[in-house]
Amino acid sequence: MTFPQTRLRRLRKSGVLRDLVRETELSASDLVYPMFVEHGPDHRTPIASMPGIDRLSISNAVQEAGEAQALGINAVLLFGIPADKDEQGSGAWDDEGIVQLATRAIKEAYPEIAVICDLCLCEYTSHGHCGIVNSDGYVDNDATLELLARTATSQARAGADVIAPSDMMDGRIGVIRSELDREGFSDLALIAYSAKFASAFYGPFRDAAGSTPAFGDRRAYQMDPANAAEAVREALLDVEEGADVVMVKPALPYLDVIRRVKDATGVPVAAYNVSGEYAMIKAAAAAGYLDERTAVLEALTGIRRAGADIVISYHSKDVAKWLQ
């Protein structure tokens, strides 16, 4: 008498057969590598809470993009650290701003790799919020939209292949889409950070980008971690407004949301394995509590299995190396 369960066990004994029945693939071409770019000549500045990730000068960012491409990664995601910040975040839409300069340099050196520009004002505002702040201390949604659209067209002129608005203002996808179309960038794609949760896991990123809010928090415009149905509604709205890809962020605490958004929208879904998720594995591995490589591959495969077509991760280059 043979129990039916033993059949898969037989298949798993051999590597070839195991591959034959594997349901989920993780490959370098699914990955996006995020980079922090700052002004100044050839240098890199380590980020204490993200071992292995540095703030890069433009020349170093170009070099990293080339390495990513050689490893089979198709896209990088750029975050800018401006020289100066102000109330409105005007560095964001400066044609000579840090992201614009880096985008031009990367596209010139490596035209084949896709450059995705993160679009948000929080790295550029002196108060660290993602938009214009009213006298009541809250972000003015509608006034912010115009600045986001201005930033998008500036990034487009610099040569961005994709723009990824991460600000979470209502109606921004529609406004940005129509502004891009009006300016002649109707082929440029939008990845909407549709379900961006107000998360503790952004901590290391805010150290890296110097974008911790000077007062209050982002709970008025980022989502409540308790809400999944709302995430689905947000994603559907963004698709209606013109998003080509919708994103869920962070990834690991929200695998159910990734699945629901994927099933409900049917469009490509991106998941952002954020800075805190990266830091957690790096710290545990450094302490000898878990094996980095197996843990990372398991985590990223889980994100893919949940329904993510695209995985944005600071581990991307390591993963691409391990998969070679």
Residues carrying an active site annotation: 196, 249
**Minimal distance, residue 87 CB to ligand PBG, in Å:** 17
Kindly state whether residue 120 participates in binding ligand PBG, applying the rule CB under 6 A: yes
- Exactly one of 144, 194, 275, 313 binds ligand PBG (CB under 6 A); that residue is 275
CB 192, CB 167: distance < 8 Å: no
CA distance 147 to 129: 13
Cβ 153 to ligand PBG, closest distance in Å?
18
Whichever of 206 and 293 has its CB closer to ligand PBG, that residue is 206
Instruction: For residue 309, report the phi and psi dihedrals to the nearest 5 degrees.
Output: -85, -30
Q: Name residue, tokens 């991460």.
A: 166
Examine residue 132 and tell whether it contacts ligand PBG (CB under 6 A): no
State the nearest-atom distance from the C-beta of 104 to ligand PBG, in Å.
Answer: 21
Between residues 122 and 296, which has the closer beta carbon with respect to ligand PBG? 122
- Chain center to CA of 97: 20
The whole-angstrom separation of Cα 40 and Cα 23 is 46
Residue with Cβ nearer ligand PBG (58 or 279) = 279
Separation in Å, CA 149 to CA 108, 169, 181: 25, 12, 11
71 scored as a contact of ligand PBG (CB under 6 A): no
Please, what is the minimum distance in Å from the beta carbon of residue 122 to ligand PBG?
5
Find the binder of ligand PBG among 35, 274, 306, 308 (CB under 6 A): 274
Residue of the chain from 118, 234, 238, 241 that contacts ligand PBG (CB under 6 A): 118
Residue ranges in 148-177 that form contacts with ligand PBG under rule CB under 6 A = 166
* Residue 122 binds to ligand PBG (criterion: CB under 6 A): yes
x/- site string to ligand PBG, residues 190 to 229, per CB under 6 A?
A: ------------x--xx----x------x-----------
| C-alpha to C-alpha distances, 20 to 25, 28, 113, 227, nearest whole angstrom | 11, 19, 31, 37
| Cβ-based nearer residue to ligand PBG, 264 or 279 | 279
Nearer to ligand PBG, 65 or 169 (CB): 169
| 229/136 Cα distance (integer angstroms) | 30
Q: Rounded to an integer, what distance in angstroms lies between the CA atom of residue 107 and that of residue 105?
A: 6
d(C-alpha 292, C-alpha 298), whole Å: 10
What is the contact surface with ligand PBG in residues (CB under 6 A)?
118, 120, 122, 130, 166, 202, 205-206, 211, 218, 274-275
